Structure 1
Amino acid sequence: MINTAIKPFQATAFKQGEFVEITDNDLKGKWAVVFFYPADFTFVCPTELGDLADNYDEFEKRGVEIFSVSTDTHFTHKAWHDSSDTIGKIQYPMIGDPTHLMANNFGVLREGQGVADRATFLIDPEGVIQAMEITAEGIGRDAQDLLRKVKAAQYVAAHPGEVCPAKWEEGDATLAPSLDLVGKI
Structure 2
Amino acid sequence: MLNTGDLLPSFTLKGVVSADIQTAFADFTDKTYKNKWLVLFFWPKDFTFVCPTEIAEFGKLNQEFADRDAQLLGVSTDSEFVHLAWKQQKDELRALPFPMLADLKRELSGELGILDKQEGVAKRAVYIIDPQGVIRFAMVTDMKVGRNPGEVLRVLDALQTDELCPCNWRKGEETLAVA
Give TM-score, length-normalised by structure 2: 0.93
- 1:91 lines up with 2:100 in the alignment: no
RMSD: 1.1
Please state whether the residue corresponding to 1:132 is helix, strand or coil: strand
| 1-structure distance, mates of 2:159, 2:119 | 33
* Structure 1 spans left out of the alignment, 5+ residues: 157-161, 181-185
Aligned residues: 173
Alignment deviations for residues 94-129 of structure 1 (CA, whole Å, 9 cap, x no partner): 000110001012110112422110000000001100
Matches within 5 A, 1:32-181: 32-156=38-162, 162-177=163-178, 180=179
Letter in 1 for 2:154: R
| 1-structure distance, mates of 2:55, 2:95 | 9
Alignment deviations for residues 125-177 of structure 1 (CA, whole Å, 9 cap, x no partner): 01100001110011111111111111001111xxxxx3111100011111133
Structure 1 ranges of 4+ moved more than 2 A: none
Please state whether the residue corresponding to 2:41 is helix, strand or coil: strand
Give the deviation of 1:62 after TM superposition: 1.0
Larger Rg: 1
Check the 8 A contact 1:27/1:127 in 2, yes or no.
Answer: no
Give the deviation of 1:23 after TM superposition: 0.8
Please state whether the residue corresponding to 2:74 is helix, strand or coil: strand
Would you tell me which structure has more helix in proportion to its own residues? 1
Give the deviation of 1:10 after TM superposition: 0.8
* Structure 2 spans left out of the alignment, 5+ residues: none
Please state whether the residue corresponding to 1:25 is helix, strand or coil: coil
| 2-structure distance, mates of 1:59, 1:175 | 24
Q: 1:111 to 1:27 in 2, by over 3 A?
A: farther
| 2-structure distance, mates of 1:176, 1:107 | 36
| 1-structure distance, mates of 2:142, 2:119 | 15
Check the 8 A contact 1:69/1:95 in 2, yes or no.
Answer: yes
Check the 8 A contact 1:122/1:132 in 2, yes or no.
Answer: yes
Letter in 1 for 2:80: H
Give the deviation of 1:71 after TM superposition: 0.3
Match of 1:8 in 2: 10
| 2-structure distance, mates of 1:28, 1:133 | 23
Aligned residues with identical type, % of pairs: 36
